[in-house]
Amino acid sequence: MRKNHLLALLILIPAATALFKPKTPNQDTIFESLDILAEIMTTVQENTPQKVNSQELVEGAIGGLLEQLDPHSNYYNEDRFQTMKEDQKGSFYGVGIIVGFQNEQLTVISPLEGAPASTAGIRAGDVISKIDQVITKELDFQDAIRLLRGENGSKVEVTVLRQGINEPISFDIRRAEIPSENVRASFLLDEKTGYIALRDFGEHASAEVGEAIQTLQARGMSQLILDLRGNPGGLLPQAIQVSSLFIPGHKLVVSTKGRLQNSSQEYFSEKSSPVNQMPLTILIDRGSASASEIVAGAIQDHDRGLIVGINSWGKGLVQSVFPLSKGSKGLALTTSRYYTPSGRNIQGNYESLEAYYNPGSSEDLYFKPPEKEVIFKKTRHGRDVMEVRGITPDVYIDYLKIPEPVQELEFKHSAFFNFAAAHQEDFGKVDLDFQVDSRVMTSFMAFLESREIDTVPLAEHTELLKLKIKYQYLYIENPKWSWEYLMKNDHQVEAAMELFDKAAELLQVYNGSSEIRSGYSQELKHYALLKKDPASTASLQPK
């Protein structure tokens, strides 16, 4: 069974609490089963033709046990438990590089400015062949990350392969504290529209969002887009705190129900918010899960803002993290389901893991809901919301489809990254004003031809090619610049901006200044339908 470690909604259980283990009614049966497991392990170790690793056997048995429960209960060995805790804390000790697999090799995507790796001379495009003496092609992504991290001030040797240099280059790098920001980016899209992208719900998520809002308000922001696309979740208390920024006043944010009495709880917003209230739109997609869905569900059920995008993932389970082995390891165990303020549980059916991990389009569900098969709930002010897998947006706006020839360049050939990495300094200063002119395009086409990539099908996609080339150059130089550039050219962001009149109207309803108009929801669906069909001659502005 494939486990997804990212889609988490976590409650951290203190070690002292986890150590208190009252005797369960079936404890004798548990001990009998453990005796059988120990007997099997002993038999395996004594009789298999090859030598076996007892620790791997134990972890495999634990994995098999948890597979009987649900897709989100997970065991964390010592290394991965440490990584999980670091990810939640907001900082870690490492070298300061964004890495990923390009051309099936562990590759530096972008060194963080001022971090140890950048200072040492590591560049975007460098292929990491070894970390200390460990060959990276034998590692998965998480293991590579763990090796790059370590104690503050400790050294790590990173060996890279660099284009144009025949011999490997080794760097001795001293680890330092690297901030792990929850807010990916925040900026003004225009003189009054603020944009904040929240990466995940770590320990400082609400503080970072609140600070970003106050900074943007000081610069003139009077309406906000909160982007939760691709946000896989995090800590339950942070989901409540982020929601409290927008729906203060001790309002219900989420409730949980479990088998044990202490797992059934109601969670309410703070009495006040440190930020001024304004029209709000929230962007979601299939990568929005768990804590993201709690925030989106609370905002939607209280009629506080508009939800725009496509259906979210659909994870309505809560994991409690129990420390094991004196706190060195951990168990993330599903202990309850959660429900939005209107009473929706949005957990997807996981009887078929293939269907669960590969959900189909929810477009038909939005435009043509099967009334007999779907349960409808009511928001605080009477709007209908569906209890289905995930949060269904108020306005369904899908991603624009990327033409197949461009998809092949990006995902099959990694052409945009490879080109930018190989020509980082060929076209002058790179910043938000960088232009992909004819000289850059001529060089790019020559680069493709040198790799025997057919350029003929690309002729009609020049503007899209320019966008992706500029994005990649900006990402190498400064990931936040690339995100700002991308969002100012984003189809769903554009729709969110066009819908602010509707978001402002909803804010008046939330404040009690007016009531929901009878045709309000139909107008939102009409707008979504027009956006779905760009060939329509009707105005795309909401009526």
How far apart, in Å, are the Cα atoms of 450 and each of 46, 232, 260, 454?
A: 57, 39, 64, 10
b vs e for 271-299, b when ≥16 Cβ sit within 10 Å of the residue's Cβ?
eebebeebbbbbbbbbbbbbbbbbbbbbb
Q: Exactly one of 126, 200, 285, 301 is catalytic; which is it?
A: 301
Which three-class secondary structure state does DSSP give residue 233? coil
Q: How many Å apart are CA 199 and CA 296, to the nearest integer?
A: 15
Look at the block and give the residue holding tokens 């690297």.
Answer: 178
**Two tokens at 352?**
């078929």
What residue type is 406 in one-letter code?
V
**Two tokens at 333?**
């165990």
Q: Exactly one of 290, 292, 414, 482 is catalytic; which is it?
A: 290
**Two tokens at 263?**
């797992």
Q: What is the largest CA-CA distance in the chain?
A: 77
- 200 a catalytic residue: no
- 468 a catalytic residue: no
DSSP state of 327: G
Q: How many Å apart are CA 292 and CA 314, to the nearest integer?
A: 10
Q: How many Å apart are CA 178 and CA 93, to the nearest integer?
A: 6
The pairs formed by 246-250 with CB atoms below 8 angstroms and a separation of 24 or more are: 246/273, 246/277, 246/280, 246/299, 246/304, 246/305, 247/298, 247/299, 247/302, 247/304, 248/272, 248/273
- 532 a catalytic residue: no
DSSP letter for each residue of 331-391: EEEEEEEEE-TTS---PPP-SSHHHHHS----HHHHHS--TTT-EEEE-TTS-EEEESSSP
DSSP letter for each residue of 87-122: HHHTEEEE--EEEEEETTEEEEEEEPTTSHHHHHT-
User: Closest Cα to residue 80, out of 136, 18, 7, 142?
Assistant: 142
What residue type is 56 in one-letter code?
E
In 296-340 the beta strands, taken as DSSP E runs, fall at 306-309, 317-324, 329-339
Q: How many Å apart are CA 502 and CA 508, to the nearest integer?
A: 10
**Two tokens at 530?**
């027009």
Q: Exactly one of 251, 315, 329, 531 is catalytic; which is it?
A: 315
Q: How many Å apart are CA 331 and CA 81, to the nearest integer?
A: 9
Q: How many Å apart are CA 409 and CA 411, to the nearest integer?
A: 6
Residues annotated catalytic, as ranges? 290, 301, 315
